[in-house]
Amino acid sequence: MRILITSLVLLFALGSCKNSGPATQIDRHDGKEHQTVVLVHGYNHDSRDMRVLAGFLEESGYHTVKVDLPLTFQHVEDSAKLFASTVEEILSGIPEDQTIFMVGHSTGGLVIRYFLSHHPQSSRVGRAVLIATPNQGSSLAELAGEISDLLVETFATLNSLRPENISKLGLIDPQHTQVGAIAGNKGNLVIGQLLEKENDGRVEVHSVFYPGLDAFTVVPYNHHEIHYKIETANLVIRFFETGSFD
């Protein structure tokens, strides 16, 4: 049994999954041609994983910027510092009175929250959406640490995702930015069988929620497909437009 669990955790650490293709219809919102959206990928991925969502947003009139971060072998704090430099560069290219939006999938959402909690220019982020982000920590990352210290030391991002380490990130509720979160509850991924509570196959629904959110909703998708779905894109756009998922 221990060998099986170890194998599944390694699958979580090393594996990738094919994602669903894009849908064909999106809610169109005019007048956003100059609104910039920064997209942040999740653990063990790169900016390519955000291309479909970026395409949906661009179709709706937004300008998107996809970032690449070392979210595998680096701690979240280290990736967040690199992210801050990228955002500073983005902000330097737009008028000072103009805000931007942010979207993060999974661990990318924690990078965004770190920026909003620690960076002096966080007030220039008008709204942010966290998709399947383990805001309360990852039970799978905790399991990985219990099985092997070497595993989480090597895959340092996993160590940052352990519930006891989330509080060390110093995350606070931003005063100037509205934050919404979208969780998935289609727990049909193999490793999700190790999770006891409602989950998306990687992250439990209750972990995505935290009291300081301005909006929260749940959609019937798993962790690998949630940010590829048209429904998710429309929820993101709705939150950008109204500050609500309703």
Specify whether the CB–CB gap between 128 and 112 falls below 8 A.
yes
pLDDT digits (tens, 9 = 90+) for 163-216: 999 999 999 999 999 999 999 999 999 988 999 999 999 999 999 999 999 999
Query: Looking at residue 21, what is its pLDDT?
Result: 42
Alpha-carbon gap, residue 54 to 233, rounded angstroms: 9
Residue 27 burial by CB count (10 A; 0-12/13-18/19+): exposed, middle or buried?
middle
Q: Which of 58, 84, 57, 53 is nearest to 69 (CA)?
A: 84
For residue 140, the surrounding DSSP H or E stretch is: helix 139-147
- Tens-place pLDDT, residues 60-80: 999 999 999 999 999 999 999
**How much is the pLDDT for 32?**
56
- Dihedral angle computed from the Cα positions of residues 182, 186, 188 and 190, in that order, rounded to the nearest 10 degrees: 30
Residue scoring higher pLDDT (33 or 60): 60
Task: State residue 218's pLDDT score.
Answer: 98
Mean pLDDT of the residues in the chain: 90
CA 40-177-88 angle, 5° bins = 55
Share of the chain above pLDDT 70, in %: 86
Angle, in degrees to the nearest 10, between helices 51-59 and 230-242: 50
The pLDDT score that the predictor gives to residue 59 is 96
pLDDT digits (tens, 9 = 90+) for 224-243: 999 999 999 999 999 999 99
The closest of 12, 14, 42, 2 to 146, measured between CA atoms, is 2
Q: Does the pLDDT at position 39 exceed 90?
A: yes
CB neighbours of 6 closer than 8 A, spacing ≥ 6? Answer: 147, 148
Answer CATH for 2-6+33-242 from 3.40.50.80, 3.40.50.1820, 1.10.600.10, 3.90.550.10: 3.40.50.1820
Neighbours of 52 (CB within 10 A): 21
| pLDDT confidence of residue 11 | 47
User: Which pTM does this prediction carry?
Assistant: 0.90
pLDDT at position 16: 45
Residues 59/26, Cβ–Cβ less than 8 Å: yes
